[in-house]
Structure 1
Amino acid sequence: MSLKGFLEGGIAAVVAGCATHPLDLIKVRMQLQGEALSQKPYEGLPKKPSSRMKAVQGAGVLGVGLEIVQKEGPLGLFSGVSASALRHAVYSTTRLGLYEVLKQHMTDEDGNLPVSKKILAAMIAGAIGAAIGNPADVAMVRMQADGHLPPHMRRNYSSVADAIIQILNTEGLSSLWRGSMPTIQRAMVVTAAQLASYDQIKESLIASKVMDDGVTTHFAASFLAGVVASIVSNPIDVVKTRIQNMQTIPGLPPPYLGSLDCAWKTVQSEGFFALYKGFVPTVTRQGPFTITMMMTLEQVRYILREF
């Protein structure tokens, strides 16, 4: 198994993840809007949210971004960036490298690889990458969500290492894999949408002679792949974020018993479109992330082509 594909994918994903982290942070904060009053620690609060809380819940991308800057300073937009870097170094390195390995094994003797096999390869790679990278994902979501919580409920992790150590000490090893099922489901969908659709779109553009194999083609294919990934993954992403961020009280059942329970409670209390909370920053982030990742990957491949 060649390690070259893993190295190329890891470099591209870490660069893209760090560059688009503020948009990912805004997405997480928006996905948690409207959730607070339905969780156990908030039972003592008034039934009706205050006008301030309503304003926060209705805030858009710019509103949430400005609120973060006002409350936490400009560096608040990079809360959890160390966890993001670790997550992509583990999760994305695995999925991108493994995708290339699986494609090689699935390609027939004539060099053909149908889109169905590309999707299968991407889903397998995404699932394995997500399972391995879940601890960093849990730490990242919690670090991003901290500023959303009242001061007395914040975890105040100083780094991704501190977050993982504290979770281990206070909640046990299994908590590092909390939300692993929706994380794996999301990774399968996102990886298939990103990688398989990117490959297929790029190959179609080149084969039809609409574009040559170059930067413009890479940009167009990665942009479209990012849009597809955003549309199909947002509901799973909302569920994943809420499960990973939920706080439990000893002796009481957790707010959510699983992915379906979380999705059902979210729809019941906030309506169906709550599953698309954070969609604008998702597509705003997923587009630049996919473009940055795939274009960086193409350039890294070009630089390392002789190795």
Structure 2
Amino acid sequence: MTKSDFVLGGVAAMGAVMFTNPIDVVKTRMQLQGELAARGTYVKPYRNLPQAMVQIVRNDGLYALEKGLAPALCYQFLLNSVRLSVYSNALEWGYLQNKDGSISFYRGMFFGALGGCTGTLFASPFYMIKAQQHAQAVQSIAVGFQHKHTSMIDAFLHIYRTNGISGFWRGVIPSMNRTLVASSAQIGTFPKAKALLKDNGWVTHPVLLSFCGGLASGTLVSVANSPFDVVTTRMYNQPLDEKGRGLTYRGLVDCFTKILRTEGLHGMYKGFWPIYLRTAPHTTLIFVFFDKLLYIRDLYVFPQNKN
């Protein structure tokens, strides 16, 4: 794993999240509204993405759309610097190729999952704080449990004083399951989509090829990952007792079971459209930025690597 790939992977993801964080805020709140309530029995302050954004700005100001941006940037840097550098080096060392030189779908999924889970393990505290800050809202549009963090630093201090070091990794198991699905699907399908588009002559321009490949990959990720995303948000945002145990969900299986029992399959796909509208462009932007950063690196930093 090269240092440059590590840094470039993280920077590419930070660039993407600058554009997609407001959608992530809406996604989190839609996943929390009507928590463990039967469909049709609760007030829905967030009905769809445009209406939710207007609702947030009207009640909480424009800045509220960027709540949780600092931990979101830190999370994306740590997660993707590991995830993309693992994938990039596996590709460079020939671990992803079949004997005929084509990219193996299953090997791509494996290294995508390996890198994603490793990155998530390190970055989990930032994801938890991000989710909790995304949920913070004025009373009139508040959903889910409301944590009272005033900043990312304040959140770290509060968690440490309340639950110690172990409190930072509460919910890491469902988060790793979420990333396992997302990373394996995203990185496993991206090169396949690019190869399909390029080999058939449908898309040839490099930037447009990365864009279309990321869009196709992001679509599959959204469908596969939505239930795991909902569970992760619920687990991270739930209130705790004095021993740091969840008051709403005991664990991953308990969370899945309770959502299905009270909210049905619909509950597993709450916030799906914000997930899709965030994941597809986010995936696209990451790979476009990463491709371009690698090109700039090879052109100016390591010109001997340029083909």
Report if TM-score (shorter chain) is over 0.5.
yes
For 2:148, what is the secondary structure of its paired residue?
coil
What does the per-residue CA deviation read over 1:213-250, in whole Å, with 9 as the maximum and x for residues that have no partner?
51221111111111111110000000000000000233
Deviates more, 1:23-32 or 1:283-292: 283-292
Cross-structure match for 2:256: 263
Match of 1:83 among 71, 74, 90: 71
The structure-2 alpha-carbon separation of the partners of 1:253 and 1:114, relative to structure 1 and needing over 3 Å to count, comes to closer
2:1 is aligned with 1:11: no
Find the aligned partners of 1:269 and 1:155 in 2 and give their Cα distance: 24
The structure-2 alpha-carbon separation of the partners of 1:36 and 1:172, relative to structure 1 and needing over 3 Å to count, comes to farther
Q: What amino acid maps onto 1:22 in structure 2?
A: P
| Conserved? CA contact 2:36–2:258, under 8 Å | no
| Conserved? CA contact 2:78–2:122, under 8 Å | yes
Find the aligned partners of 2:187 and 2:130 in 1 and give their Cα distance: 23
Deviates more, 1:296-305 or 1:201-210: 201-210
Structure 1's unaligned 5+ residue stretches are: 39-47
For 1:202, what is the secondary structure of its paired residue?
helix
What does the per-residue CA deviation read over 1:180-222, in whole Å, with 9 as the maximum and x for residues that have no partner?
1111111111112222211111122222333325122111111
| Conserved? CA contact 2:215–2:284, under 8 Å | yes
| Conserved? CA contact 1:29–1:64, under 8 Å | no
Find the aligned partners of 1:236 and 1:253 in 2 and give their Cα distance: 18
For 1:223, what is the secondary structure of its paired residue?
helix
| Conserved? CA contact 1:193–1:229, under 8 Å | yes
Match of 2:109 among 107, 114, 119: 119
Matched-pair identity in %: 27
The structure-2 alpha-carbon separation of the partners of 1:110 and 1:8, relative to structure 1 and needing over 3 Å to count, comes to farther
Find the aligned partners of 1:107 and 1:55 in 2 and give their Cα distance: 46
2:154 is aligned with 1:182: no
Cross-structure match for 1:293: 286
Deviates more, 1:96-105 or 1:4-13: 96-105
Match of 1:250 among 242, 246, 259: 242
| Conserved? CA contact 2:34–2:44, under 8 Å | no
What does the per-residue CA deviation read over 1:229-284, in whole Å, with 9 as the maximum and x for residues that have no partner?
11100000000000000002338862101111111111111111110000010001
Cross-structure match for 2:209: 217
The structure-2 alpha-carbon separation of the partners of 1:295 and 1:30, relative to structure 1 and needing over 3 Å to count, comes to same
Cross-structure match for 2:160: 168
What is the deviation of 1:161? 2.1
Cross-structure match for 1:132: 122
TM (normalized to structure 2)?
0.88
What is the deviation of 1:21? 0.1
TM (normalized to structure 1)?
0.88
| Conserved? CA contact 1:91–1:132, under 8 Å | yes
| Conserved? CA contact 1:227–1:287, under 8 Å | yes
- The number of residue pairs the alignment matches comes to 293
2:272 is aligned with 1:279: yes
Cross-structure match for 1:42: none
The structure-2 alpha-carbon separation of the partners of 1:244 and 1:148, relative to structure 1 and needing over 3 Å to count, comes to farther
Structure 2's unaligned 5+ residue stretches are: 303-307
Query: What CA RMSD, in Å, does the superposition of the two structures yield over aligned residues?
Result: 2.3
Find the aligned partners of 2:253 and 2:179 in 1 and give their Cα distance: 17
The structure-2 alpha-carbon separation of the partners of 1:36 and 1:261, relative to structure 1 and needing over 3 Å to count, comes to closer
| Conserved? CA contact 1:18–1:84, under 8 Å | no
Runs of at least 4 residues of structure 1 off by over 4 A? 107-112, 148-151
Find the aligned partners of 1:37 and 1:207 in 2 and give their Cα distance: 49
What does the per-residue CA deviation read over 1:144-189, in whole Å, with 9 as the maximum and x for residues that have no partner?
11217769x7433232222112111112222211111111111111
Find the aligned partners of 1:16 and 1:253 in 2 and give their Cα distance: 32
